Amino acid sequence: MAETLFTGIAQLVTPAPGPQRGAAMRQLTALKDAALLVRDGVIAWMGHEKEAPRAEHTHDLGGVAVVPGLTDPHTHAVWAGDRLADFEARVEGVPYEEMLARGGGIRSTMRATAGADVTELVRLARPRLWALAQSGATTIEVKSGYGLAFEAEVRMLEAVRTLQTLLPVTLLPTLLIHVPPTEGREAYVRGVCEELIPKVARTRPPLATAVDVFCEREAFQGEEARAILTAARAHGLRVKVHADQFHAIGGTELACELGALSVDHLEASGAPQIKALAASSTVATVLPGVTLHLGLPAAPARSLIDAGACVAIGTDLNPGSSPLFSVPLALALAVRLNGLTPAEALTASTVNAAAALGLRDRGALAVGQRADFLALHSADWRDLAYTLGANPIRTVFVGGQALKEIHS
Ligand code: NIG
Ligand code: FE
């Protein structure tokens, strides 16, 4: 039985376990001069250091703040090629959606990704995921979606499976049905429902735990998204939706109706979508990196929380709309751009982000939760949401072990 008592915690700060909505997102527990006992990767005790039980090993953290490990519930970390020319064109005024409509943007990343083998995809994605892990992400979702052809989508998911063995954090793969082919979209959607989803679901272990659809004018429309998500559910997979990024065309309402784990983006959401999310258990995931990088309106996270919704934050790490490699920076941007308080942002990036992936065993510092936690450089946890451009995290602990690169 491996047992370590972590001491020297100036401040231990955590939301309560499980998803938190509305005003409860601001309610954190803060303990001064705390200690944390980890047994076999799980929190066995926490409280004031003076009252701590004896343990086999002790680890003095030296008087810093400790918060739960962060979850990044939305990334597209596997891609080949780059979008640097797009970036230059965009800052000179060409809109993102127009590039996509002209066959560039996401479609150019699809051409590059479809041409790469699994080994190459793993080589490219590994340092990106390592950067997220070092920023404090102990659980990371990774989507496919740049394959288009079914074999290329499967290759992306196989790359995630290999990456799971190369990174000491939890990686959760999602099958993303991103944009339709330029011709034969009806047959494509049928193939997704009748071939791709069944194949992904029946592989053991399943190649993905969830299916996501980009529901947008330039991508899939409501009825296509409904068919895909219904097929996913029929095969035992959870569902998620990219919705309301540019236009609110019904993706959020569909996601809530189907009991989706989360609906992500929401930059164009208005009162009807806020109402639907507040009345559902679907997590509203905001992606402030997209607001910053594409200059889109910020998703209405303040109104969502005030209406009682459960809000999470993701990086949306991808080459086109959010080249953001840090979860604390996403959290810090959500405070500036989406109007979250630092306490709400911590809850959004921990228990709520875990709930957006269907996980309840992490995101809080409480007995029985996974011992994924972060020691900050600072003695005040608010530096997590305050710092811009430097990593506020000194040490990442996964299951009570300091994060170490796997060499292979
Ligand atoms: O979440 N909106 C659609 N998909 C991604 C962007 C992908 C890309 O631009 O390569 C997103 O923003
Ligand atoms: Fe995305």
What does the domain layout of the chain look like in residue ranges? 4-68+361-407, 71-355
Query: Which H helix or E strand runs over 376?
Result: strand 373-376
Give the integer Cα–Cα distance in Å for 384 and 380.
8
Domain 4-68+361-407 = CATH 2.30.40.10: yes
Could you say which DSSP state residue 296 is in? P
User: What DSSP state is assigned to residue 245?
Assistant: S
The residue ranges of the chain whose pLDDT is under 70 are 1
- pLDDT reported for residue 32: 98
Q: How far is the C-alpha of 324 from the C-alpha of 290, rounded, in Å?
A: 9
pLDDT digits over 63-91, tens only?
999 999 999 999 999 999 999 999 999 99
Which residues touch 248 (CB under 8 Å, ≥6 apart)? 268, 269, 270, 272, 273
The answer, yes or no, to whether the previous bond of 205 is cis (omega within 30 of 0) is yes
In this structure, which residue's CA is closest to atom 11 in ligand 1?
321
Positive/negative CA dihedral, 314, 319, 324, 327 = positive
| Token pair 């303990």: residue | 31
Site to probe by mutation for ligand 1, drawn from 213, 321, 324 as the one with most ligand atoms within 8 Å of Cβ, is 321
Report helix, strand or coil for 310: coil
For residues 58 and 76, what is the distance between their CA atoms, to the nearest angstrom? 38
* 62 alpha carbon – ligand 2 mean position (Å): 38
Structure-block tokens of residue 11: 């401040």
Which DSSP helix (H) or strand (E) runs through 7? strand 3-14
Q: What is the gyration radius of the CA atoms in the chain, in angstroms?
A: 21
242 lines ligand 1 (CB under 6 A): yes
The partner residues of 139 in beta bridges, in order of sequence, read: 71, 170
User: What is the best residue among 143, 262, 292, 316 to mutate for testing ligand 1's pocket, by most ligand atoms within 8 Å of CB?
Assistant: 316
Q: Exposed/middle/buried for 195, CB within 10 Å: 0-12, 13-18, 19+?
A: exposed
Is the minimum distance from the CB of 316 to ligand 1 under 6 angstroms?
Answer: yes
Write the CB contacts of 119 (distance below 8 Å, at least 6 apart in sequence).
none
Q: Which helix (H) or strand (E) holds 362?
A: none
Atom of ligand 1 nearest to the CA of 290: 12
| Interatomic CA distance for residues 33 and 16, integer angstroms | 19
71-355 in CATH: which number? 3.20.20.140
Asked if 147 and 196 count as a contact pair (C-beta separation under 8 A), the reply is: no
* Residue at 321: amino acid letter: S
CA dist 152 and 265 (Å) reads 25
User: What does pTM read for this prediction?
Assistant: 0.98
Q: With a 6 A CB cut-off, is 109 part of the ligand 1 pocket?
A: yes
Q: Amino acid identity of 166?
A: L
User: Could you tell me the distance, in angstroms and rounded to a whole number, from the CA of residue 60 to the centre of ligand 2?
Assistant: 39
| Cα(210) to centroid(ligand 1), Å | 17
The pLDDT, as a whole number, for residue 408 is 77
